[in-house]
Chains A and B, each alone.
Chain A
Amino acid sequence: MTRTISLGLRGALWLVMSACIWGAFFYAWSDPAFVGQSSRILFFHVPMAWTSFVAFFAAAVWAGRYLWGGRQMRHDRAAATAVECGVLFGVLATITGSLWARIEWGAYWNWDPRQTSIVVVLLFYGAYLALRSAMADREVRARISSVYALIALVVTPFFYFIVPRITESLHPEPVLNAERTLDVDPRMFQVLLASALAYTVLFFWLHNLRARSQALIDALEDDPS
């Protein structure tokens, strides 16, 4: 029964994501303010960036649960895995953004405030992963990296949501702009919302698989026999 529900949920994810891909090319219109069809990258780039934020936020929640929830290693594992997934989605958002920048601005990299802020965030979490790999003791590693992930929660929203709204940038206005209004075509918004949802679910699935495989690796290290 559980297996049937589980497979059904995964099937639903395949359907929604496939519908989003179809919607991105055939349902939503191409914004004439941008070169050719380049605005369609919005339906992939923005959900990837959004999902990376969700992942970093989730990492902080799991880190908090580790520190104040009985110091269980599964929470630390979940936090570290969320950061890995967040970095993955952040890198994908950066790549898709650079491809768009090449078409729209003529260069892959322009040190635009948006580009710079995502690099700072990725470096911040890259340091988290480096810090973890530098510590052999699991308890110490879990404690220090949990504190780091919580501090990062203060830094991350600043770079994701505040910097783009207080700096002059070539980057298009956020969908929810500084005037707190939605400045987007309804069809584009529908596809964007569905895509963000599908990417978020995909993140939780990837996270689940990675955390479970890490738990198996840890169990093997504890008992090699």
Chain B
Amino acid sequence: MELGGLGWIFTVNLIIWTGLFIFLLRIERRIAGLEAGGKGR
């Protein structure tokens, strides 16, 4: 894969988006835990 090529940029974008997505899922689970009266995780 050529550094800076379309495939490379696509991969970096996908990694960033997936990272953000997992981060948001974790935050959501934590908020749900706090709403339920627990400490969240």
Contacts and interface: CB of A to CB of B under 8 A. Distances in A.
Interface of A: 10, 13-14, 17-18, 21-22, 25-26, 37, 205-206, 209, 212-213, 216
Contacts of B7: 25
Interface of B: 6-7, 9-10, 13-14, 17-18, 21, 24-25, 27-28, 31, 34-35
A14 B19 CA distance: 11
A17 B27 CA distance: 19
Contacts of A212: 31, 35
Contacts of A37: 6
B17 A17 contact: yes
Contacts of B27: 209, 213
Contacts of B10: 21-22, 25-26
Given A21-B10, A212-B35, A213-B31, A205 B17 contact: no
Nearest to A13: B21
| Majority-rule SS of A interface residues | helix
| Majority-rule SS of B interface residues | helix
A-B pairs, top 8 by smallest CB distance, nearest first, are A25-B10, A25-B6, A21-B13, A212-B31, A14-B21, A216-B34, A213-B31, A21-B14
B27 to A, nearest CB: 6
Contacts of A18: 14, 17-18
8 contacts: A13-B21, A17-B17, A21-B14, A21-B17, A22-B14, A26-B6, A209-B28, A216-B35
A26 B24 CA distance: 27
Given A18-B14, A37-B6, 17 more contacts: A10-B21, A10-B25, A14-B18, A17-B17, A18-B17, A21-B13, A22-B14, A25-B7, A25-B10, A26-B6, A205-B24, A209-B28, A209-B31, A212-B35, A216-B31, A216-B34, A216-B35
Nearest to B20: A202
A22 B35 CA distance: 37
A22 B34 CA distance: 36
A205 B25 CA distance: 10
Contacts of B9: 25
Contacts of A22: 10, 14
Nearest to B7: A25
A38 B18 CA distance: 23
A216 B27 CA distance: 13
A206 to B, nearest CB: 7
